[in-house]
Structure 1
Amino acid sequence: MPTTAKRLQKALAAVTSHYPRPVTPLADPPAGSGLKPVLGDDGIPFFGNTFEALSDPLKSAMQRFERYGPVSWSGSLNMNIVTLVGPEAVECAWMNRDKAFSSEQGWEPMIGPFFRRGIMLMDFAEHMHHRRIMQQAFSRPRLNGYLDLMTPHIEKSLANWDVRAGFPMYTQTKELLLSLASEVFVGSTLNADENHRLEKAFEAAVRGGQAIIRADVGNFTWARGLRGRELLQQYFRSEIPARRAGSGDDLFSVLCHSVDDEGNAFSDKDVVNHMIFVMMAAHDTSTIALSMMVHHLGRNPQWQQRLRDESLALGKDTLDYDDLSALPSMEPAFKETLRINAPVGMLFRKTVADTDILGHYVPAGTLIAIHPWATMLREEWWPNPTTWDPERFSPERREDKVHRFAWAPFGGGAHKCIGLYFGGMEVKSILHQMLLRFEWSVPADYTLDLEYGTGPTPADGLPIDIRRR
């Protein structure tokens, strides 16, 4: 059943959807510029279009595209937000050729207090400086080391799963990947209670960015997120001396030792900030990707068996990094899942100078919502876009080649996800072991009910019927 908050959001969205909305320009272009105004509407007073966007951001973005085109504006909590849908529109913001878009300022109102100074919340030269150092933590040898750390943990966790009819796949995936993050990223040697406390703090920080009441008040979501951030900072700070003195293969230890080609390294404060952000980025997105991939394979038994046959033919219970290319059907199934269920539905920027997007004038100080999820579900670029069909990525079809940003779940430009290869490795390693151990299906009458946080997540834990082979 939906929560009270979710029912309220839907009720308010239903009301606001009938509120009269005259088409108005965001701002008049400078005289003689030849630019067009961005068209849109401000919704209801103060709240704007907030409730409908919270209730169903994908539907809201789709409707705005159909009414106003790829570049539109809306009101939200006394702010103006320009939404971009379509590969050409998102390319303008991601490639940022005139350096008019700030990622740091775009994300600050959303998640800044919890993930400030993470790699995604940096701009321009500073971002590239930090990215060059961090890239050392995602090199091929490092990925091999992380896979060696995660493999036994995956084996142990799957062996202990209480598989049955109605198994909550999303809930169990989230638990698995959170504990895996502690193992691989933190290299935690804490006891069970201490590790649980760290995981709860991390979860509180992630949820903080989804709060409606954005103030440090009582025990509300925002306040719990701030306390979670504080606990994580304290833990990572206290551990840095030992990690700098050691030689561990976990991400925390690697960041403590990473240097770029010019010998630049992270300060202690940098390490803390990047660890908190990377744990969020990797855990949340991988949870959505893996659980939804299992869901689609449960609805498409022929594809589940196709992937299983390839895993069986490999003749190995677990994967090494080189084995990822030996499972040819897993990659298009992974890509198609990310297309239909983009783990990050929207990304944000803020204009730091007057600019134009597809010939539309956008003034400085405007919040920009980049919508790759809606882009990947539009029939203008994807035939039968709501059908899960991995063959669309086959060499014969390659529907993603219609535009370089038609398929872009990892973002693009300078801020393209630095951990994309890690994420793919993690999901595929777990799925390989699942295919060898289990068979599963989705009940025929099951209807997927999504709610929205950092991405589209199942509201009911994503039940599947699963058994051991």
Structure 2
Amino acid sequence: MQTAQPDNDYLARPDNTRLRHIPGDYGLPFLGCMIPLINNPSALIRRYYERYGPVCRTQATGQKIVWALGPDYNRDITVDPEQIYSARMGYDGMLRDFFAGGLLMKDFGEHHFHRRIMQTAFKIDSLKQHLLQINERVAHDLPDWSTRPDFHFYPAIKALLLDIGARVFVGLEMGGEAQRLNQAFLDMMEGVLSIVRRDWPGLLYHRAMNGRRELERFFLELMPAKRVSDGNDMMGHFARALDETGQPYPDQVVRDHILFLLLAAHDTTTSALTMAAYYLARHPEWQERLRAEALGTNLAAPDYETIKSGLPLTEQTFHEILRLHPPVPQLMRRTVRDTELGGYEIPADTLVAISPAFSHRMAEYWRDADRFDPDRFGPERQEHKAHPYLWVPFGGGAHKCIGMHFADLLFKCVLHDMLRRYRWSLPAGYPASPAIMHFPFSKLKDDLPLRLTPLS
């Protein structure tokens, strides 16, 4: 039997803040636990879990939140068979100004309808076409990296993946626009964590909103051509699609979807590749194991079959990076009606969060959980299979990341080429525990300087 769709009146109601009956603490006035959450989410949430249990309350920049921690809650809240948990309202306070209208912020039937349209870009035939574009661009850009003085990996890989995303999803060669749009994305994402959320000149949030406005103008200017194009890119496909009444989607709807899709397509994999480059520089024995695998394919660029089944150690490494640094450390929802978690009453309109960053390091499931060890995903150990919702870097249920297979292509193509082309290491005197930014996506705060040595 299909669950009835919730009434939309939940969209207009304020957040519930009556949580004193749930164990936990709110931390500092207004800021709550925001600073330690940004600095080390898994360590902070572990302390709450050990002190208060798997269902506990906290606060971050004025929002009162219930944490539901562990793989059982990962399953219950992402699968959500009774349609209790709204993703749209879970992210509303933090992301509304930046991503309202994107797939992340649609609920239930509306989410299903829009996801079905966008799924076209991620079917196998489409992925095979994307793979050709990815390999072409990677082979063009990577040879130049070793010629750059004072090479930093993060800005280099971010520019490359934005260019690939623009070609695949917008059908566009970035050219001179790349730096401007990259900066607009960077400015916008810095604003996500702003403490003072006002669009006033001089504030970080204002700069972030200017980044959003720059991206809006850019995509809206493309719309007339996309309406009449016959291209296979995602933006063209969406611009020609019809809604349930048989009418084209408004420009703003197409713009908002593409803006979010392009961000998700390049920023999350930028994070994964940055952290992989760091760990493989820190663990050269693993770098050599992966290099032997890449050279063993006898392919300058991997084909689709190799991507899917011919790079097992690379896949284990990808999984381990996403375990240690999931693309979204905390997934947010808000209840649309009264429910119960762990024996505690959870009123309607309560913010509820699950934490991949925590469940991915639970000592109950993972051996030496803070250690980089891709073999934990190998056939002899398979630690991630202790619970089907223990490892959830892409979420789960209806909102499971629509681009996870595209991310897999990107990660493996770039790393395959990089391993065949270079040996890399950290600079002399590099800190043993460098500063890592965990939100909105993981990266080294110093942008990861690397020493690249060409192999031939």
When normalised by structure 1's length, the TM-score is 0.87
Residue 217 of structure 1: SS of its match in structure 2?
Answer: coil
Distance 1:78 1:338, change over 3 A: closer
Task: Extract unaligned runs of 5+ from structure 1.
Answer: 1-24, 29-37
Q: Letter of the 1:170 partner, please give it.
A: Y
Distance 1:250 1:319, change over 3 A: farther
Among 119, 132, 148, the residue aligned to 1:135: 119
Contact 1:103 1:350 in 2 (8 A): yes
Counterpart of 2:280 in structure 1 is: 297
Q: Letter of the 1:389 partner, please give it.
A: D
Contact 2:188 2:212 in 1 (8 A): yes
Distance 1:27 1:210, change over 3 A: closer
Contact 1:289 1:341 in 2 (8 A): yes
TM-superposed CA distance for 1:253, in Å, is 2.4
Residue 140 of structure 2: SS of its match in structure 1?
Answer: helix
Counterpart of 1:205 in structure 2 is: 188
Among 205, 210, 217, the residue aligned to 1:222: 205
Distance 1:412 1:163, change over 3 A: farther
**CA deviation vs aligned residue, 1:225-267 (integer Å, no higher than 9, x gap):** 2222222222222212312322324332233345799989754
1:81-160 aligned within 5 A: 81-160=65-144
Residue 75 of structure 1: SS of its match in structure 2?
Answer: strand
**CA deviation vs aligned residue, 1:3-22 (integer Å, no higher than 9, x gap):** xxxxxxxxxxxxxxxxxxxx
Counterpart of 1:390 in structure 2 is: 374
Residue 161 of structure 1: SS of its match in structure 2?
Answer: helix
Among 239, 256, 274, the residue aligned to 1:273: 256
Structure 1 CA distance, aligned partners of 2:25 and 2:152?
40
1:49-448 aligned within 5 A: 49-162=33-146, 167-189=151-173, 191-192=175-176, 194-257=177-240, 266-324=249-307, 325-442=309-426, 446-448=432-434
Q: Letter of the 1:277 partner, please give it.
A: F
Distance 1:341 1:79, change over 3 A: closer
Contact 1:165 1:466 in 2 (8 A): no
Structure 2 CA distance, aligned partners of 1:256 and 1:85?
40
**CA deviation vs aligned residue, 1:114-138 (integer Å, no higher than 9, x gap):** 1111111110111011111111121
Contact 1:132 1:260 in 2 (8 A): no
Q: Letter of the 1:406 partner, please give it.
A: L
When normalised by structure 2's length, the TM-score is 0.89
Bigger shift: 282-291 or 438-447?
Answer: 438-447
Among 15, 19, 22, the residue aligned to 1:26: 19
**CA deviation vs aligned residue, 1:265-296 (integer Å, no higher than 9, x gap):** 75433221110111111222101111111222
Residue 312 of structure 2: SS of its match in structure 1?
Answer: coil
Structure 2 CA distance, aligned partners of 1:394 and 1:264?
49
TM-superposed CA distance for 1:436, in Å, is 0.7
Structure 1 CA distance, aligned partners of 2:62 and 2:228?
50
Bigger shift: 392-401 or 425-434?
Answer: 392-401
Structure 2 CA distance, aligned partners of 1:164 and 1:234?
32
Structure 1 CA distance, aligned partners of 2:81 and 2:262?
30
Q: Letter of the 1:282 partner, please give it.
A: A
Structure 1 CA distance, aligned partners of 2:246 and 2:381?
45
**CA deviation vs aligned residue, 1:43-97 (integer Å, no higher than 9, x gap):** 2333333333344333221111111111110133443111222111222211112
TM-superposed CA distance for 1:189, in Å, is 4.2
Structure 2 CA distance, aligned partners of 1:61 and 1:92?
19
Counterpart of 1:456 in structure 2 is: 442
Distance 1:251 1:148, change over 3 A: farther
Structure 2 CA distance, aligned partners of 1:370 and 1:157?
38
Structure 1 CA distance, aligned partners of 2:401 and 2:158?
20
Counterpart of 1:31 in structure 2 is: none
Measured on the aligned residues, the alpha-carbon RMSD in Å equals 2.4
Bigger shift: 181-190 or 266-275?
Answer: 181-190
Q: Letter of the 2:205 partner, please give it.
A: W
TM-superposed CA distance for 1:27, in Å, is 4.6
Distance 1:76 1:300, change over 3 A: closer
Q: Letter of the 2:163 partner, please give it.
A: S
Distance 1:265 1:27, change over 3 A: farther
Structure 2 CA distance, aligned partners of 1:225 and 1:446?
33
Bigger shift: 303-312 or 274-283?
Answer: 303-312
Distance 1:78 1:238, change over 3 A: closer
Contact 1:26 1:40 in 2 (8 A): no
Bigger shift: 411-420 or 65-74?
Answer: 65-74
Structure 1 CA distance, aligned partners of 2:435 and 2:380?
34
Distance 1:190 1:426, change over 3 A: closer
Q: Letter of the 1:459 partner, please give it.
A: K
Residue 348 of structure 1: SS of its match in structure 2?
Answer: strand
Distance 1:459 1:199, change over 3 A: closer
Structure 2 CA distance, aligned partners of 1:405 and 1:282?
23
Distance 1:210 1:178, change over 3 A: farther
The percent of aligned pairs where both chains have the same amino acid is 36
Structure 2 CA distance, aligned partners of 1:303 and 1:142?
32
Counterpart of 1:467 in structure 2 is: 453
**CA deviation vs aligned residue, 1:400-448 (integer Å, no higher than 9, x gap):** 1111111110001110000000001011101110011001133575323
